[in-house]
Structure 1
């Protein structure tokens, strides 16, 4: 049984941050193994299971020994692992800026305010829209009041997803709370078409392309 001092680590690597408001910045990544969703368009299915054993101390030492100030925890779903929390604490204590990419199904209640959360809201095209944790909308508002720098991301497989996401954003006033990112699935919703839709409907969001897939097309790991 995994403890809070242990991680199941799929990979760790140094690359360019590719899909957030910090896209383009050099970043250290921890991809933790395990996910509680099975999105139809997932591009990291290799992270669903397995992962090599690694202690929190070893993982933190790797990141803290690197000059890069930006570190991201991703997955899979990193919050499934109890060890993610002490790893975050060590990274923050060591002066790192920490990003957490999470699929929106688990509560953010234990995530430190100093962490910048990239919260996914799964659209119908993912097949996983029903699993969103509604509490996270209240927690985003609370974190914003306390100075956090979170953002929300919608991955859009088609035009139905676009209109669903647009309604979700406006209904919950997300655009007044955090930066909102709309990212197209390819193949599926072409970026040009998403741009047209966003302009035509005055979407209060930023069009987000996966920068790492443009820099290293075809590569799945280590980017």
Structure 2
């Protein structure tokens, strides 16, 4: 019976993505090969508890919501994550996967919504981007740029054109809280007529914490 190392399973409002505000079960897997400078879930790098997939699903079912987000850490760092996602989908859940973009997404069940980062220069992990992943994204998926500076914004804007991202899937521009003024980022998006979705981390506005990520 497959198991995964889990940091936490909790119920909250989705704080990001195009389902922001929807009550969601979050399954946070332990471990991540990246060390982004703005990371707000470093507590998930280590520790956690081995839990059988059947038990993970049973816990998720208790919250009586269709929406489940599998997150981390970096969930794809544990190969059995793919099995968890498929089993959740088979149960009828609407499943999204939050991934750093540094690990191959080609094996992710096509029914899941992939919310994939492209790491900006300010993350400190620009070299980890696996650009081949873009080819495995479709219209229901999302690419997220976390922006902390003018350099990050300019890089992200250039990436939109270089990788022909508009029209492939939703594009999310998100400010680093406490570093990038969100109003300034919003005004840049409007000024440059960018075909992106501005997002701000709802959970941090409501509860000033990392829940709902």
Deviation at 1:222, TM superposition (A): 7.1
Q: Distance in 2 between matches of 1:153 and 1:202?
A: 18
Q: 1:164 aligned to 2:132?
A: no
Name the Cα RMSD after superposition: 1.4
TM-score (norm 2): 0.96
Secondary structure in 1 aligned to 2:96?
Answer: strand
Matches within 5 A, 1:98-137: 98-137=95-134
Q: 1:201 aligned to 2:198?
A: no
Q: Distance in 2 between matches of 1:196 and 1:95?
A: 40
TM-score (norm 1): 0.92
Q: Number of residue pairs matched? A: 213
Stretch of structure 1 that moved more, 84-93 or 30-39: 84-93
Q: 1:56 aligned to 2:56?
A: no
Contact 2:122 2:147 in 1 (8 A): yes
Contact 2:203 2:212 in 1 (8 A): no
Deviation at 1:16, TM superposition (A): 0.2
Q: List per-residue Cα deviations over 1:119-167 (Å, max 9, x = no partner).
A: 0110000000111112101112xxx2xxx61010000011110010010
Q: Spell out structure 1 runs of 4+ moving beyond 2 A.
A: 219-223
1:189 to 167, 172, 180: 180
Which segments of 5 or more consecutive residues in structure 1 lack a partner in the other structure?
Answer: none
Contact 1:175 1:204 in 2 (8 A): yes
Structure 2 partner of 1:37:
34
Q: Distance in 2 between matches of 1:155 and 1:221?
A: 17
| C-alpha spacing 1:175/1:222, structure 2 compared with 1 (3 Å) | closer
Matches within 5 A, 1:17-96: 17-96=14-93
Which segments of 5 or more consecutive residues in structure 2 lack a partner in the other structure?
Answer: none
| C-alpha spacing 1:150/1:220, structure 2 compared with 1 (3 Å) | closer
